[in-house]
Amino acid sequence: MKRVISSLLLLGFITLICFSSSTYAATKNVVWEKSQSVSATVDSSGTKASVGKTKGKWYWEVTVTAQASTTTGIGIVGEGKQYNGPGAGALQNWMYYAANGNTFPGIVSSGKTYTLKDVIGVALNMDDDKISWYKNGVFVYTSTFKPSDLPGEIVTPSITGGSAGSFSFDTNFGATPFTHSIPEGFLPYQQPENSLTLNATGNEENIQLQWNEITGVTTYKIERALAPGGPYEEIASDISGTSYTDNKVEENTTYYYVVSANISMDQVVSNEANAIVKKSTPDPSDPTEPEQPSGDRAILIVTMDNGLDKEFDLSKKELNAFVAWYDAKDAGRGASFFAIDKHNNNKGPFSNRKDYVIFNKILTFEVSEYSTK
Residue 180 shares a structural domain with residue 205: no
For the segment 185-218, what is each residue's pLDDT rounded down to a tens digit? 788 888 777 778 888 999 888 999 998 887 778 8
pLDDT at residue 119 is higher than 90: yes
Residue 137 shares a structural domain with residue 242: no
Once rounded to an integer, what is the mean pLDDT over residues 144-173? Answer: 84
In this structure, what CATH number is given to the domain that contains residue 69? 2.60.120.920
Residue 143 shares a structural domain with residue 210: no
288 lies in some domain: no
Highest-confidence segment of 55-69, 192-206, 242-256, 339-353: 242-256
The reported pLDDT for the residue numbered 225 is: 94
Q: Is 364 exposed, middle or buried (0-12, 13-18, 19+ CB in 10 A)?
A: middle
Residue 182 shares a structural domain with residue 202: no
- The domain tally of the chain equals 3
Q: With CA atoms as reference, report the closest residue to 161 among 58, 78, 82, 50.
A: 82
230 lies in some domain: yes
* Residue of 20 and 270 predicted with greater confidence: 270
This prediction's pTM: 0.51
For the segment 290-305, what is each residue's pLDDT rounded down to a tens digit? 444 456 788 889 888 8
Q: With CA atoms as reference, report the closest residue to 188 among 22, 59, 10, 32.
A: 59
Residue 12 shares a structural domain with residue 124: no
For the segment 163-177, what is each residue's pLDDT rounded down to a tens digit? 667 888 999 998 888
Are the CB atoms for 251 and 278 separated by under 8 Å? Answer: yes
Once rounded to an integer, what is the mean pLDDT over residues 269-289? Answer: 72
283 lies in some domain: no
Cα(71)–Cα(304) distance, rounded to whole angstroms? Answer: 46
With pLDDT > 70 as the criterion, what percentage of the chain qualifies? Answer: 75
Instruction: Specify which residues 211 forms β-bridges with.
Output: 198
Q: What would the 3-class secondary structure string for 172-223 be?
A: ECCCCCCCCCCCCCCEECCCCCCCCCEEEEECCCCEEEEECCCCCCCCEEEE
Residue 304 shares a structural domain with residue 347: yes
Asked which of 188, 205, 238 is the last residue of a domain, the reply is 188
In this structure, what CATH number is given to the domain that contains residue 268? 2.60.40.10
Q: With CA atoms as reference, report the closest residue to 225 among 273, 277, 261, 279.
A: 273
Range of the domain at 321: 297-370
133 lies in some domain: yes
